[in-house]
Amino acid sequence: MNPNRRIVFLCKATMGMLIALFLISSVAVAEEPPPYVKDWVEFAKASGNAADKKWAELLNHPDTWSLQKGWKEWRGYDVSDLLEEARKKGEIPKELKPGLVITQDNYKNFLWLPKFLPQSVINRLADKQWLPIKQIRVVPNTSYYLSKKRLDGAKKETGQFYVSQTGGARVKNCITCGPGGEDTWALRSQGLPFAPKPKDGWELVWLHMAHDVATDALYFKPIDFVMCNSKNKVERIQTGHLWWMRFHGRTDYSPTPEFPKQEEIFQGGAVFWLHPLDVKGLCGVRLRSFDPLKQDSFKVYIPTLRRTRVLAGSDTQDPLAVNSDLTWDEWRAFWQHISRAEQDWKIVGEGWILAPPERGMVDRGLVFTDCEYKSVDVELRPVWILEMKDKTGKYQYSKRILWIDKEWYYIQDTEMYDKKGNLWRTWWDDVRFWNPRTGISMWRGVGVWDSINHHHTYIQMNVDFEEASKGTKAQYFDIETLRTYK
């Protein structure tokens, strides 16, 4: 071979090898798991817990890494970034790390605990008589996010979001709305209004409302309400079927971006009671308008009377079930009517909270038996602290405090205060059945307790994603159709 040709050949071969090595290294970097996944893999090995291992396996997958990376790039940060920054600043105690176990016997040793755990939860550690929390285990953080299609909607939406003088969220020049998006209601958008950094309380509460239930529909068949009395005894169990529908701004379930013939309604909930016999056949439908000046459509069918009642906005403060600590304004965690005439919303702080992880795919994250919390898993979550103050003097709560997650804009804890300013109800141990490979979730377990009357309601959901996408039907949100449900 000609020496010159040999040199050219060797150069080309070397260049080819370098390109190949570059591509291989690039793929390797692209498939590198995020820090929190590595933390979970190591933690699961050390704990030996089967649920920990299964969760680590779900997280340790390229589909999870890719979706998480997309949300991190759009948001500009993830929980690992925020936690690393907080630890460098000394905002997190060194002993507050995965593996720490807090019990009723040692919780007083952690002087920093009130900074990371609401007093209402610390009270459950302190009280060995009513609704005690026997043990809290700290686990690694998980990065939470919504679906790929919701991310696409958030990226595509370039409309200008704003809060109107009446307190409604609106958007100018909406890109992802249905028809008539020149200046319309913000929750018609497939994006996330005011994300990733809301500038005040009004923007934050509407960002949370846009998060909605983290999907386009819910389907719980069945849902059980377990009511516990002050002596930690089950006094009643009530069972039903429950549906939830997002009518606009839809991304994951057909039809998108909105349901036809629902121009004024953006979300709705429906429930049909099956057990016990005294409530069998009782059903209710609540639909919310975009416009804060319009009250919700709220109808209940009462089988013993064989008639449908049209309820007023004040009736949303009634219990969702007999003896339940969950009112109609607490289902889906928070569903209070939002209006400048009725409330003031302010961001009163930010920081971290210890909250149950959303790993309902592997377990409920807690052991709740005999009306006691035998064990609860928690992780550190970055939050804004949002306060609602009632301006009317007529609402059941004078104040709400909501800890809203900075990663996926959902409530991690809520405290509700009565008209005298006393802590009344707490919503804390909320666990989602969240799929890290799709970003879609539904609830699996929720606990709400009444600190005044020493009463507790624990709610268990049976989750079916396939039925949620196909079985949640628009006709269930018509009370006259729902009453014939079998």
d(CA 293, CA 305): 32
pLDDT of residue 260: 85
The pLDDT profile of the chain, 486 residues, written as one tens digit per residue, is 554 444 444 444 444 544 444 443 333 344 789 999 999 999 999 999 999 999 999 999 999 999 999 999 999 999 999 999 999 999 999 999 999 999 999 999 999 999 999 999 999 999 999 999 999 999 999 999 999 999 999 999 999 999 999 999 999 999 999 877 789 999 999 999 999 999 999 999 999 999 999 999 999 999 999 999 999 999 999 999 999 999 999 999 999 999 888 888 999 999 999 999 999 999 999 999 999 889 899 999 999 889 999 998 778 999 988 889 999 999 888 999 999 999 999 999 999 999 999 999 998 888 998 899 999 999 999 999 999 999 999 999 999 999 999 999 999 999 999 999 999 999 988 899 999 999 999 999 999 999 999 999 999 999 888 888 888 888 999 999 999 997
Q: What is the pTM of this model?
A: 0.92
Sorted by where each begins, the domain ranges of the chain are 3-77, 148-208
From 77, 42, 81, select the one nearest 59 (Cα to Cα).
Answer: 42
